[in-house]
């Protein structure tokens, strides 16, 4: 009986508790996300249905809970910071309408306000502006093989109707297979150039002398070795770039880089 009351959605202590017109209480983030996913404003407990988004009241009778651990922990590598936090806490959602990412605290207006509540929230994206169709403002979720470009669901029904359309995930897997083949060719070229360098150095060592012809040959050999070593450095740099691209988990970024740079 001494345990603190808990939200029936997250089954944890209340964070920013709010009460619905039916009297039931939930975490603000929990009920906001519940309504967003279900597409209707309904109480998860009594199933009371509200035709319009009701005014949520802060429940002062329940403990508000401590700050979430995510808000206090410094950002880890690869995590996206909240666009509104001076301290740059970890973002938990990105908004496709606002084109911004928010932590739990700054996401609250999207759950409380009726207008903001209609905004499309998605999992956090690093390159948010690049993930949205500039024509329709929708998330890029398809790839048009006919035009070699990333498109949204509306593009499929309009400008790209009848084109060869596949999912971002499927096309990314295809591109990664091609990247693997390109890396194999690059690595083969690197080994060939390294072999040429060794052959030139060995040839010079076997024909050492003091004559003018020998000095000229040595100068030419040095020039060739330098050119080959510069080419090897460039090939290795390119291979490292392709390796990094192959390892990325951001399939959309992979396809956008492929179209623009590869």
Establish if 134 belongs to a structural domain.
no
Token pair listed for 31: 């009920």
Question: What are the pLDDT tens digits along the chain (262 aa)?
Answer: 456 688 898 888 887 888 899 989 998 888 888 888 888 889 999 999 998 888 888 766 655 554 444 455 667 776 788 888 887 788 888 887 788 888 877 888 888 787 887 787 877 777 777 788 888 878 888 999 999 999 998 999 999 999 999 999 899 999 999 999 999 999 999 999 999 999 888 887 666 655 566 677 777 888 898 999 999 999 999 999 899 888 877 788 888 887 655 5
Establish if 102 belongs to a structural domain.
yes
10 Å CB burial of residue 32 (0-12, 13-18, 19+) is buried
- Same domain? For 111 and 46 the reply is no
- Residue identified by tokens 């207006």 is 109
Establish if 132 belongs to a structural domain.
no
- Same domain? For 245 and 201 the reply is yes
Establish if 227 belongs to a structural domain.
yes
- Same domain? For 235 and 179 the reply is yes
Domain final residue, candidates 26, 49, 66: 66
- Same domain? For 58 and 93 the reply is no
In order, the DSSP letters of 116-127 are GGGS-EES--SS
Establish if 237 belongs to a structural domain.
yes
For the whole prediction, is pTM greater than 0.85?
no
Q: Describe the crossing of helices 168-206 and 251-261 by its angle, rounded to 10 degrees.
A: 60
Which pLDDT value is given to residue 1?
45
Which pLDDT value is given to residue 119?
82
- Same domain? For 23 and 87 the reply is no
Establish if 1 belongs to a structural domain.
yes
- Same domain? For 59 and 76 the reply is no
- Same domain? For 26 and 111 the reply is no
- CA 256, CA 259: separation in Å to the nearest integer? 5
Q: What is the CATH number of the domain that holds 88?
A: 4.10.830.40
Which pLDDT value is given to residue 209?
56
Which pLDDT value is given to residue 66?
47
Establish if 133 belongs to a structural domain.
no
- Same domain? For 49 and 97 the reply is no
- Same domain? For 27 and 53 the reply is yes
How many structural domains compose the chain? 3
Helical H segments across 86-159, by residue range? 104-112, 153-157
Structural domain harbouring 45 = 1-66
- Same domain? For 224 and 196 the reply is yes
Which pLDDT value is given to residue 176?
92
Tell me which residue of 28, 11, 21, 9 sits closest to 116, measured CA to CA.
Answer: 28
Which pLDDT value is given to residue 111?
82
- Same domain? For 15 and 101 the reply is no
- Same domain? For 174 and 249 the reply is yes
Establish if 148 belongs to a structural domain.
no
Domain final residue, candidates 66, 93, 114: 66
């Amino acid at each position: 009986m001494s345990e603190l009351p808990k939200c029936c959605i997250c089954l944890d202590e209340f964070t920013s508790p709010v009460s619905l017109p039916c009297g039931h209480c939930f975490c603000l983030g929990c009920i906001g996300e519940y309504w967003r996913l279900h597409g209707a404003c309904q109480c998860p407990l009594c199933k009371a249905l509200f035709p319009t988004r009701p005014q949520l009241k802060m429940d002062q009778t329940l403990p508000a809970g401590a700050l979430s651990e995510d808000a206090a922990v410094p950002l880890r590598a690869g995590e996206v910071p909240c666009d509104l936090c001076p301290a740059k806490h970890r973002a938990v959602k990105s908004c496709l309408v606002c084109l911004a990412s928010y932590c739990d605290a700054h996401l609250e207006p999207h759950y409380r306000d009726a207008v903001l509540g209609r905004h499309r929230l998605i999992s956090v994206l690093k390159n948010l502006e690049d993930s949205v169709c500039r024509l329709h403002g929708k998330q890029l979720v398809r790839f048009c093989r006919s035009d070699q470009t990333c498109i949204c669901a509306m593009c499929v029904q309009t400008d790209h109707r009848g084109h060869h359309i596949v999912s971002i995930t499927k096309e990314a897997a295809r591109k990664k297979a091609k990247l693997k083949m390109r890396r194999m060719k690059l690595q083969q070229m690197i080994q060939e150039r390294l072999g040429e360098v060794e052959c030139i150095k060995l040839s010079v060592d076997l024909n050492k002398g003091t004559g003018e012809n020998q000095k000229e040959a040595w100068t030419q050999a040095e020039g060739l070795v330098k050119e080959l070593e510069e080419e090897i450095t460039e090939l290795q740099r390119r291979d490292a770039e392709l390796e990094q691209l192959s390892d990325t988990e951001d399939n959309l970024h992979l396809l956008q880089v492929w179209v623009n740079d590869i």
